[in-house]
Amino acid sequence: MPPRVRLLSITLLVAAACFDGGPEVTSPGLEITIDSSGAFPIVRNEGVPPRWSIVPIGSVGSVGSMSEAAPDEFGKVSSVTPGPDSTVWVADRYAGLIKAFRPDGTLRLEVGGKGQGPGEFGSIYSLAWVGDRLLVLDLGNGRIAELSPDGTWLGTRPAPGRVSGSPSVLRLYPASDTTVIQWSIGSVDGELQRVWVLQGPEGESTTWPQRRMEQPEPTAIVCERGNRILAFDVPFGGRMMQHPLPDGSSYQTWTAEYRFAVIGADGDTTRVVERSWPSLPVTDEMWEDGTAEFETFLGDSPGADCTPRSMDRPEERAAIDNLLMDDEGRVWIEAQREADTVWEVFDPLGRLVAVVPGFDYDESVAPSIRGGTVAWVRTDSLDVQYVTWGRLVESEAR
C-alpha cells in the first residue's frame, strides 16, 4: 500500500480538513470559492493572481564544429534540474554524460560516459534530487545511479531495463525536496504492469500500480500501411495528463478544459480545481496546417487502414498544455492564451497563488522547478539544444 505518513500526504490531509465547510477566500483581484456541498470539494479560481517572474541565471548550448566538442555542446539532452549554488545539471543521453554548469555558463563538472560499470551510463532518462543526492534514472542499464553534489558515485538502485519512450513521461516526478516518484515497470499479482515507485534519500519505500486513465475522446489516429504503423496526433485537442503523489493519489487533467482533479488511490475523485479561462477558437487556417501531414499521408496511401477513419475538429483549442509539480508541492499549470502561454501556480489546496510568464521549451524534456529555480531545454530550427535556468521571484504585483 502507498505510504500515509509522508510530508505531502500530511499536507493533503490538512487540505481536506480546510475544505470542510467550504469557506470563500478572496484577495485583491482574485476570488477563490470552495464548494463542499457535493461528493467532493470543488475549488473555483477567478480573477488575476500576483505576477511572479523568472530572472535569468544562465544559459548554455552551442553549435557543433569539426574541432573538439565544446563543453556545452550536447548530443541529446533528456533531463535538466537545478542544483546547489545556482548550478544546473544536464543529462546528455547520447553521450552518457552528466554535466553541471555554473551561472556564468562554465563547466563545473562532468561525470559518466557510455558503459555499464560504476560511473557509467547506458541511457539516461531523468535527473532529480532527493535531499543532497542526485538520482539518475538510467533505463539503458536498468538502474538508478546515486551521485553526490561533487559527482561522486554513491551506488545504485534497481530500475527496469530495455524500456523506451519519451523522457517527459518515463522520468522521476518530484513530490517534495526529499522525495520523487519514479515511473517504472513491476510485477503486480504476477503480471508486469506500469507502476510508481516512491524514492527518497534512503532508497525506495513503496510501489503501487499506475491507474489507467480513460481518454474521453480519441487523441490520435493510428494507421497501418503494409508492415508499418504510424500515429497522427489530433491537433489542438485534449489529452489526459497526470502527476503522481506519494500517498498513491495523483493529479489528473483532461487538457481540453481548465480543470484538474486529485484522484485517490482507490480511483475516487477527492478534489477538483477549476479556473475561469477564455475559449480559443480553432481557425480554418490552423486546422489545415495542423492536419496537413495526415492529409498528405491519406493522399499518398489510399489503401491505409486508419482507426478512427478521420479526425474530428475540436470546437476550441485545449486550455492546458502541461502539468508539473515543484519541490514545494505546488502545481504548475501551463495554460494556452491567444498568442502565448503562461504558467499558473496553485498551492496544495488548489488555490491559485501566482502567474508566471511562459517560455519556449522542448516538450520531450520536462521543465524542472526546484529550490526557487526554473530550468528548461529549448531546441532551435537546426536541432541545437540550449539549457536555460532562472530564479523565481515572487511578487505581489499584478
Does residue 244 form part of some domain? yes
CATH of the domain at 120: 2.120.10.30
Q: State how many domains the chain has.
A: 1
Q: Find the radius of gyration of the CA atoms of the chain.
A: 22
pLDDT the model gives residue 213: 87
154 exposure class (CB count in 10 Å sphere: 0-12, 13-18, 19+): exposed
C-alpha cell at 111: 561525470
Does residue 186 form part of some domain? yes
Residue 21: Cβ within 10 Å count:
8
Domain with 344 in it: 7-64+77-210+237-277+327-393
pLDDT the model gives residue 262: 98
Does residue 313 form part of some domain? no
Structure pTM? 0.91
Does residue 292 form part of some domain? no
pLDDT the model gives residue 14: 37
State the DSSP H helix or E strand holding residue 298, giving kind and residue range, or none if neither. helix 292-300
Does residue 87 form part of some domain? yes
Residue 50: Cβ within 10 Å count:
18
User: In the chain, which residues have pLDDT < 50?
Assistant: 1-23
pLDDT the model gives residue 26: 58
Q: How many helices (H) and strands (E) does the chain have?
A: 3, 30
